[in-house]
């Protein structure tokens, strides 16, 4: 069984690891402990991390995590008479859909018939680290061997008979060896979220957190910080542990009229339903902040990607 799961992942270019439920408990405790110590901002925790829970079904005795390589994606906006490309970092496009698709693939091709597979509502980065699947970088992202940080993590509880080595124990969190003497991500961060005084990212200052939130931009945020439609790639594209970023064109393009509607944020306008159909192609859930982020991207003078990328092959 275990060998079949490893072969399934290898065939698809994924990385996979599993362990006892203890790893999921520890992943939850890792994050709660950092909140209690003040390392994680209380407001950020409440808004972004309060959803997870420890496993509640002992019968699902294994936790399994898959790391899937993902490209960035591009969409196009007609603005001032010319098409402008905007980059969406890996994991945003069809993020939720892929959890269901991956689960169906596992159940239909490799897990025993009748096996249960439930999505694990736990901090996936911490869980994947505890399973030895990935290691942390200084930017608080996790890195899978040969894939870097351009991956989406999927976590599931299962009753499938996945064997563990004798004396199996969860891994201790470790920093990539490269990070010990490298400051590339810290130097590239446009908001100072990666500090010199600690390893843990100051998530409340991270541009990704700021542009996923509908709150107004903080006064201290540099106007030229924006380079993506949502999220940020500044620390990843300079990281020596990462491969060159692939970008896949979604084929989604917005007309000049649609671009104006998005920039105005008129979600109740007659044209918004047509816009939503285009957004549904990429399953981008950040609709509420789309107009504000696009305006910031255009105002920053970066209508096109300025990150080192190569076309998706």
Confidence of residue 54 (pLDDT cuts 50, 70, 90): low
Beta strands in the chain (DSSP E): 15-20, 62-69, 72-79, 82-88, 117-119, 135-136, 142-143, 151-158, 245-254, 309-311
Beta bridge partner(s), residue 302: none
pLDDT tens profile 270-310: 778 888 888 887 777 777 888 899 999 998 865 444 444 44
For the chain, how are helix, strand and coil distributed in percent, rounded to 5?
A: 35, 20, 45
Distances (CA, A) of 260 to 84, 263, 304: 13, 5, 18
Check residues 138 and 309 and name the one with the higher pLDDT: 138
Q: Are 16 and 4 in contact (CB under 8 A)?
A: no
Token pair for 282: 């990429």
| Predicted confidence (pLDDT) per residue in 190-218, tens digit | 999 998 777 778 888 999 999 988 889 99
CB 136 within 8 A of CB 173: yes
Top-confidence range, 51-60, 93-102, 190-199: 93-102
pLDDT at position 52: 64
Helix (H, G, I), strand (E, B) or coil at 64: strand
pLDDT value at position 28?
Answer: 84
From the list 136, 121, 127, 25, the residue with the least C-alpha distance to 66 is 127
Lowest mean pLDDT among 27-31, 98-102, 142-146: 27-31
C-alpha dist (Å) from residue 59 to 55, 63, 115, 164: 10, 11, 11, 16
What is the value of pTM for the model shown? Answer: 0.87
Q: The sheet that has 309-311: what strands, in order across it?
A: 82-88, 72-79, 245-254, 309-311
Average pLDDT over residues 6-11: 95
Separation between Cα atoms, residue 34 and residue 45, nearest integer Å: 10
pLDDT confidence of residue 182:
92
- CA 268 vs CA 126, 261, 281, 288: distances in Å: 40, 10, 20, 12
Handedness of CA 191, 184, 132, 230 (dihedral sign): positive
């Amino acid at each position: 069984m275990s060998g079949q799961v490893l072969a399934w992942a290898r065939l698809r270019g994924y990385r996979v690891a599993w362990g006892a439920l203890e790893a999921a408990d520890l992943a939850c405790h890792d994050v709660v402990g950092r909140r209690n110590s003040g390392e994680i901002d209380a407001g950020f925790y409440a808004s972004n991390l309060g959803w997870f829970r420890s496993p509640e079904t002992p019968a699902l005795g294994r936790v399994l995590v898959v790391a899937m390589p993902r490209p960035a994606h591009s969409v196009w906006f007609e603005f001032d008479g010319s098409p402008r490309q905007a980059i969406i970092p890996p994991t945003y496009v069809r993020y939720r859909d892929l959890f269901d698709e991956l689960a169906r693939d596992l159940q239909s091709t490799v897990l025993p018939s009748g096996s249960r597979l439930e999505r694990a509502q736990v901090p996936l980065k911490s869980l994947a680290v505890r399973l030895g699947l990935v290691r942390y970088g200084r930017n608080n992202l996790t890195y899978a061997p040969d894939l870097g940080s351009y991956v989406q993590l999927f976590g599931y509880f299962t009753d499938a008979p996945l064997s563990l080595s004798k004396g199996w124990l969860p891994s201790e969190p470790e920093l990539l060896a490269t990070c010990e003497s490298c400051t590339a991500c810290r130097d590239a961060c446009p908001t100072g979220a990666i500090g010199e005084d600690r390893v843990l990212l100051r998530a409340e200052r991270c541009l990704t957190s700021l542009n996923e939130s509908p709150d107004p931009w903080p006064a201290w945020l540099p106007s030229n910080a924006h380079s993506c439609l949502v999220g940020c790639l500044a620390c990843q594209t300079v990281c020596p542990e990462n491969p060159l970023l692939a970008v896949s064109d979604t084929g989604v393009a917005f007309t000049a009229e649609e671009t104006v509607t998005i920039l105005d944020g008129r979600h109740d306008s007659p044209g918004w339903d047509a816009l939503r159909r285009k957004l549904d192609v990429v399953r981008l859930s950040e609709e509420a902040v789309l107009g504000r982020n696009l305006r910031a991207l255009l105002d920053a003078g970066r209508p096109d990607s300025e990150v080192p990328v190569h076309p998706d092959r």
